[in-house]
Chain A
Amino acid sequence: MKKYSILENIKEIHHRFLRIKFLAWIVSIFFFILLIRLFYLQIIKGDYYRKLSQANCVSIVKKTAPRGHIYDRNYSELVINIPSFKVNIIPFYFLKNENFEKTIVELANILDIPPEDIKEKLSKDRGYILEPVTIKRNLSEKEISLIEEKKLYIKGILIEPEPKRKYPFKSTASHILGYISEITKEQLVDSSYKNYKAGDIIGQAGIEKQYDQILRGEDGATYILTDARGKQIKILNEIPFKYGKNVVLTIDIKLQKFAEQLMEKNKYKGVILAMEPATGEILCMVSKPDYDLNFFSGNIDVKYWKKLLRDKDHPLTNRAVQGLYSPGSIFKIVVGLGGLNEKMIDINTSFLCEGIYWIKTWPYKCWRRDGHGHVSFFRAIAESCDIYFYKLGLKMTVEMLHKYALMFGLSEKTNIDLPGEKAGIVPSREWKIRTSNSPWFPGNTVMMSIGQGYLSATPLQIINLANAIANEGYVMQPHVLKAITLSNRKIYKLFEPIKLIEVNIDKKNIEYMRTAMKRVVNSAAGTGKKAFISDIIVAGKTATVENPQGETHAMFAGFAPYNKPAISVLVLIEHGGGGGDVAAPLAKEVIEFYLKELKK
Chain B
Amino acid sequence: MDIKNNVKKIFFEMNLILMIMTLLLIIAGSVSIYSATFSEIKVYFFKQIIWYVIGLFLMFVMFNINYNLIIQAANYLYVFFILILIVVLVFGKEIMGAQRWLQLGWFQIQPSEFMKIVIPVTIIRFILIKQNKPFTTKNLFKIFLLVVIPILMILKQPDLGTAILLLPIVFVILFIGNIKIKKLIIIFLIFLSLLPFSYFVLKDYQKQRLYVFFNPEIDRLGAGYNVIQSQIAVGSGKFFGKGWLQGTQSQLNYIPVKHTDFIFAVITEEFGFLGGFIILFIYFIFIMECLKIINLCKFTGGKMLGAGLTTMILLQIFINIGMTIGIMPVTGITLPLLSCGGSSTFVILISIGILQNIYKEYIKVEK
Interface residues of A (CB under 8 A from B): 12, 15-17, 19-20, 23-24, 27-28, 30-31, 33-35, 37-39, 41-43, 45-50, 52-54, 56-57, 91-92, 95-96, 225-229, 233
Contact with A49, one of B234, B252, B288, B318 (Cβ below 8 angstroms) = B234
Q: How far is the CB of B85 from chain A (nearest CB, A)?
A: 29
A53 near B272 (CB under 8 angstroms)? Answer: no
Point out the residues of chain A lying under 8 angstroms from B326, CB to CB. 37, 41
Q: With contacts A19-B178, A37-B326 known, what are 4 further pairs, Cβ within 8 A?
A: A20-B294, A53-B235, A53-B236, A56-B249
CA distance A522 to B306 in the complex (A): 119
Q: Which chain A residue shows the least CB distance to B307?
A: A23
* Given contacts A46-B235, A53-B248, A228-B254, A41 and B325 within 8 Å (CB-CB): yes
Shortest beta-carbon distance from A388 to chain B in Å: 78
B268 to A42, Cβ gap below 8 A?
A: yes
- Nearest-CB residue, chain A, relative to B255: A228
Do A228 and B252 touch (CB < 8 A)? Answer: yes
Q: Which residues of B sit under 8 angstroms from A27, Cβ to Cβ?
A: 284, 287-288, 291, 314
Contact partners of A91 in chain B: CB under 8 A: 221
A-B pairs with beta carbons under 8 Å apart, 21 shown: A17-B295, A20-B307, A23-B291, A31-B283, A37-B326, A38-B276, A42-B268, A46-B235, A46-B238, A49-B234, A50-B236, A52-B235, A52-B236, A53-B236, A53-B254, A54-B236, A56-B229, A56-B232, A57-B249, A95-B222, A225-B252
| A37:B327 contact, CB within 8 angstroms | yes
User: Which residues of A are found within 8 Å of B300, using beta-carbon distances?
Assistant: 16
B322 contacts A by Cβ under 8 Å: yes
**A42→B291 contact, CB < 8 A:** no
Which 9 pairs from chain A and chain B are nearest by CB? A49-B235, A53-B236, A46-B238, A227-B252, A228-B253, A42-B273, A41-B235, A49-B236, A228-B254
Q: Does A229 lie within 8 Å of B253, measured CB to CB?
A: yes
Say yes or no: B288 contacts A24, CB within 8 Å: yes
Are B238 and A57 touching (Cβ within 8 A)?
no
What separation, in Å, do the CA atoms of A47 and B253 have in the docked complex? 21
How many angstroms between the C-alpha atoms of A318 and B321 in the bound complex? 66
CB contacts (< 8 Å) of A37 on chain B: these are: 322, 325-327
Contact B252 A226 (CB under 8 A): yes
Any A CB within 8 A of the CB of B60: no
Q: Is B303 an interface residue (CB 8 A)?
A: yes
The smallest beta-carbon distance between A53 and chain B, in angstroms, is 4
CA distance A71 to B18 in the complex (A): 83
CB distance from A8 to the nearest CB of B (A): 11
Residues of B311-333 whose CB lies within 8 A of A: 314, 317-318, 321-322, 325-327
* A46 pairs with B236, CB closer than 8 A: yes
**Do B234 and A41 have beta carbons less than 8 Å apart?**
yes
Say yes or no: B277 contacts A31, CB within 8 Å: no
- The answer on a CB contact under 8 Å between A34 and B322 is yes
Is there an interface contact between B280 and A35, defined as CB atoms closer than 8 Å? yes
Q: In the bound complex, do residue B234 and residue A38 qualify as a contact, i.e. CB atoms below 8 Å apart?
A: yes
* Minimal Cβ-Cβ distance residue in B for A50: B236
Which parts of B206-240 form the interface with A (CB within 8 Å)?
Answer: 221-222, 229, 231-239
Cα-based distance from A24 to B287 in the complex (angstroms): 9
Tell me whether A53 and B288 are in contact in the complex, defined as CB-CB below 8 angstroms, given that A37-B325, A42-B238, A42-B276 are known contacts: no
A58's closest neighbor in chain B, by CB? B248
Q: Is B31 an interface residue (CB 8 A)?
A: no
What residues on A are CB-neighbors of B294 within 8 Å? 20
User: With A42-B276, A95-B222 known to touch, is A20 a contact of B238 (CB < 8 Å)?
Assistant: no
Q: Tell me, in angstroms, the Cα distance from A189 to B237 when the chains sit together.
A: 33
B71 within 8 A of A: no
Within 8 Å by CB of A95, from B221, B291, B303, B317, lies B221
B280 with A31: CB separation less than 8 A: yes
